[in-house]
Amino acid sequence: MYKMMTPGPTQVRENVRLARSREFQNPDLDADFVEYYRDTCTLFSELLHTGNETLILDGEGILGLEAACASLTEPGDRVLVLDNGIYGEGFKDFVSLYGGTPILDTKDYSEPLNVEELAAYLERDHDFKYATVVHCDTPSGMLNDISRICPLLKSYGIMTVVDSVSAMFGEEVRVDDYQIDILCGGSQKAVSAPPGLTMVTISGDAKASMEERKSPIASFYANLMVFKGYYEKKWFPYTMPASDIYGLREALENIKKDRDILNRHARIAARTRESLKDMGLILYPNSGYSNTVTVFQVPKGQTDEGILTRMREKHNILLAGSFGCFAGKLIRIGHMGENATDQNVDETLRALKEVLSTD
């Protein structure tokens, strides 16, 4: 077994693994499970500082992004796609898949979105039903300031879909304060449960917009409306993955008890960046570092595969390369969730130093 220091999936605590092995009832017929599901959703909302309803969907993080776009987009809708990273750009595909017209605002991938520039853009054009924003664009470790971007968009009546899959619980997220309409998360990043679940919080405005649609949502599995009234009816649209949800609940309880979680991520991320610079490495991006992942450029004369293989084979530590336009160029250390301990990071940095000096 390698020590997983990847930016998702992350390490999973024993109590989460054990919770997943509990006996379970038929979740379709067990009234207690409906309560348990809803309580878990409420806990998720609480941890993200929102009164908005949360739904837990049976599918990996991507399902939440697709479900948000599927449920909001009607044919012909203009959607602003804020693009300063791979996931940022990727939203355009979900928008067009459901008949919308994505309008890309593409920026330099090495800098966070500039709020003043966005304000100027919106002054010229603000005829959008919603906008998509990525909180932490994981392939490049780019952090965008959703605390300013989302209220700005909302001031023009533009709803926001935020992908915080790899940021939430490592970076502060206050859904109500930031006025986020649909926030997407996943089980396998800082939440530190195994992959398999996506969680979305849905605002009243987003729900009203789905209710007022003229055309039906062109999906079943990615349709957030199929959950409507599940609690009153005690009826889920499809059989819920009970064991996954037991694990998620335990992971969320771990987070709730962890008073120092955001400070610890900040401290560990700062230390990781400093150590890498001391080793002579060049960080990516230029600014806007996320406290959940640190990314550095593959040094000249070395390859990502060489470094990753030596980390695995000599030190038993799993780091990640990157993909898309960053393939072969960047290496990523995921220090989010259960990965974010001094011991894990010390061990990783020590090993990396050795690997870089003995090629």
The footprint of ligand PLP (CB under 6 A) covers: 8, 60-62, 87, 134, 137-138, 163, 165-166, 186, 189
Q: How far is the CB of 200 from ligand PLP (least distance, A)?
A: 12
Query: Is the Cβ of residue 219 or residue 302 nearer to ligand PLP in the bound state?
Result: 219
The least distance separating ligand PLP from the CB of residue 85, rounded to whole angstroms, comes to 8
Nearer CB in complex with ligand PLP: 165/298: 165
Residues 260 and 234: their CA atoms lie apart, in Å, by: 37
- 34 or 82: CB nearest ligand PLP: 82
Helix (H) or strand (E) holding 244: helix 242-257
In whole angstroms, what is the distance from residue 102 CA to residue 350 CA? 45
Q: Where are the beta strands (DSSP E) in the chain?
A: 3-4, 53-58, 78-83, 101-106, 130-134, 136-137, 142-143, 159-163, 182-186, 197-202, 283-284, 293-297, 317-318, 330-334
- For residue 199, report the phi and psi dihedrals to the nearest 5 degrees: -120, 135
48-82 CB burial, b ≥16 within 10 A, e <16: bebebbbbbbbbbbbbbbbbbbbbbbbeebebbbb
Least distance to ligand PLP, CB of residue 4, Å: 14
Which C-beta is closer to ligand PLP: that of 62 or that of 152? 62
- The span from the CA of 347 to the CA of 192, in Å, is 19
Nearer to ligand PLP, 254 or 292 (CB): 292
CB of 310 to ligand PLP, least distance (A): 25
* Minimum distance from residue 323 beta carbon to ligand PLP (Å): 9
Rounded least distance, CB 238 to ligand PLP, Å = 20
Q: How far is the CB of 163 from ligand PLP (least distance, A)?
A: 5
Cross-strand pairs, 3: 317
Complex with ligand PLP: residue 61 or 170, whichever CB lies closer:
61
**Closest residue to ligand PLP, Cβ-based?**
61
CB of 87 to ligand PLP, least distance (A): 4
Contacts by residues 148-156 (CB-CB < 8 Å, ≥ 24 positions apart): 148/115, 149/82, 149/113, 149/115, 149/118, 150/178, 150/179, 150/180, 151/178, 151/179, 152/115, 152/118, 152/119, 152/122, 153/80, 153/118, 153/122, 154/179, 154/181, 156/122, 156/126, 156/128
Nearer to ligand PLP, 59 or 299 (CB): 59
Using alpha carbons, select from 295, 353, 345, 292 the residue that is nearest to residue 322.
Answer: 295
Nearer to ligand PLP, 10 or 254 (CB): 10
